[in-house]
Amino acid sequence: MSLFDPLATLDAHGERAVERQSVYVYEAPVRLWHWINAFSILMLALTGYLIGSPLLSMPGEASANFLMGYIRFNHFAAGQILAIALILRIYWVFVGNVDARQIFYVPVWSGRFWKECVHEVRWYAFLISKPKKYVGHKPLAQSAMFLMFTLPLLFMVITGFALYSEGTGRDSWEYSLFGWLFSIWPNSQDVHTFHHLGMWVILVFTMVHIYVAVREDIMSRQSIISSMISGERMFKDLED
Amino acid sequence: MRKTETFYDVIRRQGITRRSFIKFCSLTAASLGFGPDAKTAMAEALETKERVPVIWMHGLECTCCSESFIRSAHPLVKDVVLSMISLDYDDTIMVAAGHQAEAILEETKQKYKGKYILAVEGNPPLNEDGMFCIDGGRPFVEKLKYVAEDAMAIIAWGACASWGCVQAAKPNPTQATPIDKVIRDKPIIKVPGCPPIAEVMTGVVTFITTFGRLPELDRQGRPKMFYSQRIHDKCYRRPHFDAGQFVEEWDDEGARNGYCLYKMGCRGPTTYNACSTVRWNGGVSFPIQSGHGCIGCSEDGFWDKGSFYDRLATINQFGIEANADRIGMTVAGVIGGAIAAHAAITAVKRVTTKREKTDV
């Protein structure tokens, strides 16, 4: 934790200068994971959508084209990267700091958590004018990330590899590890459909995630966007 | 009661001399690298091993499996029925009828306790105590359970017996139920398809009679040798899929050029069957070769996944018909609107509170 000295001057609006605190929250692997996810999910959603609804037909001979092949290759490559990043990230849950653990559970057993959830809902409903300060994720963010990102991401990786095993065959490690999914849904068309719905869950999450990150960066008492680049959480109690 | 024919009897009946038979045994034993005793063992096995008795029953079904079966070319179905197995009971094609037929069923069940194969075409409806399918004066489900008690193994022919098929499609008024949900204590081999390919059916029978055991099954209980790959994996139109060349309309240039039928709803990518390799009617053609997409007839619940001509499956949970994209885009639209509204309120609120502050 580092302390900035209060500047002993007034700003343009004549307000008192502020004391700013910053805390190191997001360690490098966490930040790296965030941006690997951002780019691979972008690639996966785009190529995945095109696999479900392909582009217009390519002219010429089949031997001269490989468009669907490239689209699928990019989908699979991005999926593999996402999966490996997820495995490393889960490792980091155990060795990283306390904030690295946050989006892998929801403390439903904690009364304080629920109280703070209510407080935050009131903040988003414009009922209170000042949000609470948090070093890590806010309680609503934690729940949303766990339910609408971490779990769907796991689901997408599992269904993704199960579907990939359809191509690599019954003797592949993908099928031995993830083939059990087809015991639950014997018709893989269902798995395709759920995989497709999973994409929309993650996309909807992303929309809310980006909106709230930008909004909180402006409105709340702490930095959000720059924190995922520098790892530092800056507290800006301008109006204290 | 007549003596059951052994394989040796069949071989002799087909005009092969004992000399040729012994020669065949020694040659086979030598070429397989077995010791000098093997030829005698082989000859003895063929002389004493009885043909596998098969009871073939029909539940709620359309007999398309039988129709397919009798068209098998490799092996010919007459060789299967007359030489390889001992088809003791099949109410559709047997000569005996009525009480006579039922007597044979009883006899086989007792005589070959634990040794016969029960082949089931169709499935039992369970609603109203099984009254929707009466066979020999009693509900088919009772007959099925009764005959299955002493069977060595059960072959579930077709999509009906394996998954439920059209009679089990929503809302399934008769509660038609696949065999493996009714009989749980016997090995069951599923041979799905509506109907299954003739050669796949006879191939399964040949395997069981040759080796005296079931072939290797996959997770869903289907024989791996015919059901471990998708239509898509061996489809001759696959290069067009990889190239991104699709039929867009039924009468377009792509359809004439034989492009991939993916966009026309072809279920090849999610259907496990041997159509694209074994093909139909003695290898003449298969649906995709005829210009129509696969409808996924060997898959679970293929009637309930929406139109056969849509790529994305229909999701029916909300009382309206939609697919994953339509649901996803609707939700994204609603959330997007909510975000815009929330952002607008935030902005207004900020401006007004600022003004209040400056007013004070």
Distance CA B119, CA B196 (A): 13
Tell me how far apart the alpha carbons of residues B81 and B123 are, in angstroms, rounded to a whole number: 23
- Predicted local confidence at residue A12, as pLDDT: 60
Res. A6 pLDDT band, cuts 50 70 90: very low
CA atoms B21, B22, B27, B28: torsion sign:
positive
CB distance B228 to A169 below 8 Å:
yes
Q: Determine the Cα–Cα distance for residues B208 and B118; give it in Å rounded to an integer.
A: 12
So what's the pLDDT on residue B36? 80
Residue B301 in tokens: 């619940």
* CATH annotation of A101-240: 1.20.950
Better-scored residue on pLDDT, B336 or A8: B336
Mean pLDDT, range A2-22, rounded to an integer:
58
Which chain A residues are Cβ-neighbours of B336 within 8 angstroms? 207
C-alpha to C-alpha distance for B339 and B328, rounded to whole angstroms: 16
Mean pLDDT value across residues A94-123? 89
Strands B322-323 and B314-315: antiparallel
Cβ atoms B324, A196 nearer than 8 A: yes
CB-based contact, A196 to chain B, within 8 Å: yes
CA angle B162, B165, B171 (to 5 degrees): 125
To the nearest whole angstrom, how far is the Cα of A100 from the nearest Cα of chain B?
A: 28
Instruction: Indicate left, alpha or beta for B56 from its phi (over 0: left) and psi (-120 to 50: alpha).
Output: beta
Contact B324 A197 (CB under 8 A): yes
- How far is the alpha carbon of A45 from chain B, nearest alpha carbon, in Å? 12
What mean pLDDT comes out for the span A83-111?
Answer: 92
* Cα–Cα distance for residue pair A165/A177, rounded to 1 Å: 9
Residues of chain B with pLDDT under 70: 1-4, 317-319, 357-360
Residue of A nearest to B229 (CA): A169
Mean pLDDT of A214-235: 86
Residue in B220, B328, B343 closest to A197 by CB? B328
Q: Which residues contact B202 (CB under 8 A, 6 or more apart)?
A: B69, B72, B74, B75, B77, B80
Arithmetic mean of pLDDT, A131-149: 87
Q: Which residue has the higher pLDDT, A150 or B39?
A: A150
Q: Tell me, what's the pLDDT at B37?
A: 84
List CB contacts of B250: < 8 A, sequence separation 6 or more: B264
| Mean pLDDT computed over A46-58 | 93
Task: Please list every residue in chain A whose beta carbon sits closer than 8 Å to the beta carbon of residue B220.
Answer: 182-183, 186
Q: What percent of chain A has pLDDT over 90?
A: 55
- Asked if A189 and B296 come within 8 Å (Cβ–Cβ), the reply is yes
A19 — pLDDT class (breaks 50, 70, 90) = low
* Lowest mean per-residue pLDDT among A83-87, A106-110, B299-303: A106-110
Give the model's pLDDT for residue B316: 72
Q: Cα(B307)–Cα(A192) distance, rounded to whole angstroms? A: 16
State residue A34's pLDDT score: 95
Which chain B residues touch A52 with a CB distance below 8 Å? Answer: 311-312, 324-325
Q: Inter-chain contact A62–B245, Cβ cutoff 8 Å? A: yes
Is the pLDDT reported for residue A172 higher than 90?
A: yes
Question: Hey, of A65, A163, A189, which one would you mutate to test binding to chain B, going by the most B CBs within 10 A of its CB?
Answer: A189
Find the mean pLDDT for residues A130-141. Answer: 83
Most confident of A53-67, A217-231, B345-359: A53-67
Decide if B312 and A196 are in contact by the 8 Å CB cutoff.
yes
At A2 the pLDDT is 42
Residue B50 to residue B153: CA distance in whole angstroms:
17
User: Per-residue confidence at A93, pLDDT binned at 50, 70, 90?
Assistant: very high
Q: Is A55 on the interface with B (CB under 8 A)?
A: yes
CA–chain centroid gap for B213, Å, is: 19
Can you give the pLDDT at residue B302? 93
Contacts with A, B 324-343, CB within 8 Å: 324-325, 327-329, 331-332, 335-336, 339, 342-343
CB pairs under 8 A between A and B: 132
| Cβ neighbours around B270 below 10 Å, total | 24
B238: contact with A, CB 8 A cutoff: no
pLDDT of residue B31: 81
Residue A88 pLDDT exceeds 50: yes
Q: What is the pLDDT of residue A10?
A: 57
